């Protein structure tokens, strides 16, 4: 699973969001494409959309983010770190 990260942007406000969507599934290629599209949004510093496997939980930790308690490998992770310049970014 690819993790997309962009150049750090100076900002007074940073928004971090991580959720686990229980029972949601998509294949890894689709999730990598979604991750890349999320990263392309102006103001996004890092994004990861992936199944919560041990490998991907490690990638999430590498972004400085943690999965919600009780997250299991059959859950889909949706995570981002963004500054205030990402007003059009919707995750739901």
**35-70: pLDDT as tens digits:** 999 999 999 999 999 999 999 999 999 999 999 999
- Other Cβ atoms less than 10 A from the Cβ of 1: the count is 17
In this predicted structure, the answer to whether residue 91 has a pLDDT above a threshold of 80 is: no
pLDDT value of residue 13: 72
pLDDT value of residue 4: 47
Contact 89, 47 (CB under 8 A): no
pLDDT value of residue 19: 97
d(CA 70, CA 61): 16
Q: What is the pLDDT of residues 12-25, one digit of tens each?
A: 577 899 999 999 99
Listed by start position, the domains of the chain span 14-79
In this predicted structure, the answer to whether residue 78 has a pLDDT above a threshold of 80 is: yes
pLDDT value of residue 63: 93
Torsion of CA 58, 28, 50, 30, to 10 degrees: 150
């Amino acid at each position: 699973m690819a993790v997309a990260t962009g150049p750090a942007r100076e900002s007074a406000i940073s928004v971090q969001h991580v959720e686990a969507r229980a029972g949601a599934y998509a294949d890894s290629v689709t999730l990598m494409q979604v991750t890349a599209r999320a990263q392309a949004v102006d103001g996004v510093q890092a994004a990861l959309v992936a199944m919560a496997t041990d490998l991907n939980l490690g990638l999430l930790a590498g972004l400085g983010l943690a999965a919600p308690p009780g997250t299991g490998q059959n859950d889909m992770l949706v995570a981002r770190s963004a500054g205030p310049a990402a007003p059009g970014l919707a995750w739901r």
